[in-house]
């Protein structure tokens, strides 16, 4: 049995990843602010054990107890692999510094960087004594590697995710843990819709992103999810690796 902890499963890429993993051979712990009833129904239909946790990851002081609660449900006699996928995140605020709301900046950094850090910290604490392979996947962005006008908190937090990945991997060398960062590319999700609904004054690359949608160049969440799962199943990723979807698209 493989055990997966996935954040941000109410929609988008997180939902697509969870749906691809629904199987009698897998047990899922899904986390988002609102329950995904379609996902729960799919798991019931496919005889997959799925526990859903309605949880706001900006409540960082409660993450420790959440992880403990989840790990306590792992059957240590049957589990063969445990995977944490830190997918939840936000691009907002889409505004240049000096015009952004302070609380929006705080929420961005908290959800995109602080929460995954605390998830990883407690995931390691509570699974350390389970002698199986353990993977940690951090969903990043191409924006981690370049400055984008209007995305200062997003670029900064995703750059932080990449360095968090590399540092955690260094600390976990020669253990049962591996840590990866994966940038999914430009995926057709509600996040992209919010980007297209911003203003050119706040986001100077607006027309490029509108063009990507109009030209059919956005990747489907199901396609990206399938590729990521394939890479994990085939053990094609190296500990500490920073990967981008375009490396694996034919």
Active centre residues (catalytic) = 154
Per this entry, what is the length of the chain? 250
Look-up of token digits 């956005």: 218
Rounded Cα distance between 62 and 184, Å, is 28
**Residue 57 CA: distances (Å) to CA of 53, 83, 219:** 11, 18, 26
Q: What is the DSSP string of 90-129?
A: -----S-TTSS-HHHHHHHHIIIIIHHHHHHHHHHHHHTT
Rounded Cα distance between 52 and 9, Å, is 9
The rounded Cα 195 to chain-centroid distance in angstroms is 19
Contact 184, 132 (CB under 8 A): no
């Amino acid at each position: 049995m493989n055990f997966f902890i996935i954040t941000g499963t109410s929609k988008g890429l997180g939902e697509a990843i969870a749906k691809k993993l629904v199987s009698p051979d897998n047990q899922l712990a899904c986390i988002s602010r609102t329950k995904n009833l379609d996902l729960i129904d799919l798991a019931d239909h496919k005889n997959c054990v799925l526990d859903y946790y309605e949880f706001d990851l900006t409540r960082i002081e409660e993450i420790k107890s959440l992880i403990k609660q989840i790990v306590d449900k792992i059957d240590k006699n049957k589990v063969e692999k445990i995977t944490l996928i830190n997918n939840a995140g936000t691009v907002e605020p889409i505004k240049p510094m000096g015009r952004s709301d302070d609380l929006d900046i705080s929420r961005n950094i908290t959800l995109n960087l602080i929460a995954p850090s605390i998830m990883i910290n407690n995931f390691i604490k509570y699974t350390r004594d389970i002698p199986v392979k353990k993977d940690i996947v951090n969903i990043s962005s191409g924006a981690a590697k370049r400055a984008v006008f209007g995305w200062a908190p997003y670029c900064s937090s995703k750059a932080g995710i990449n360095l968090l990945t590399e540092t955690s991997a260094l600390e976990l060398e020669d253990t049962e843990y591996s840590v990866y960062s994966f940038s999914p590319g430009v995926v057709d999700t509600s996040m992209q819709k919010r980007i297209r609904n911003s203003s050119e004054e706040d986001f100077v690359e607006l027309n490029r992103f509108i063009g990507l949608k109009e030209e059919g160049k956005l990747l489907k969440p199901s396609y990206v999810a399938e590729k990521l799962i394939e890479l994990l199943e085939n053990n094609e990723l190296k500990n500490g690796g920073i990967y981008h979807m375009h490396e694996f698209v034919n």
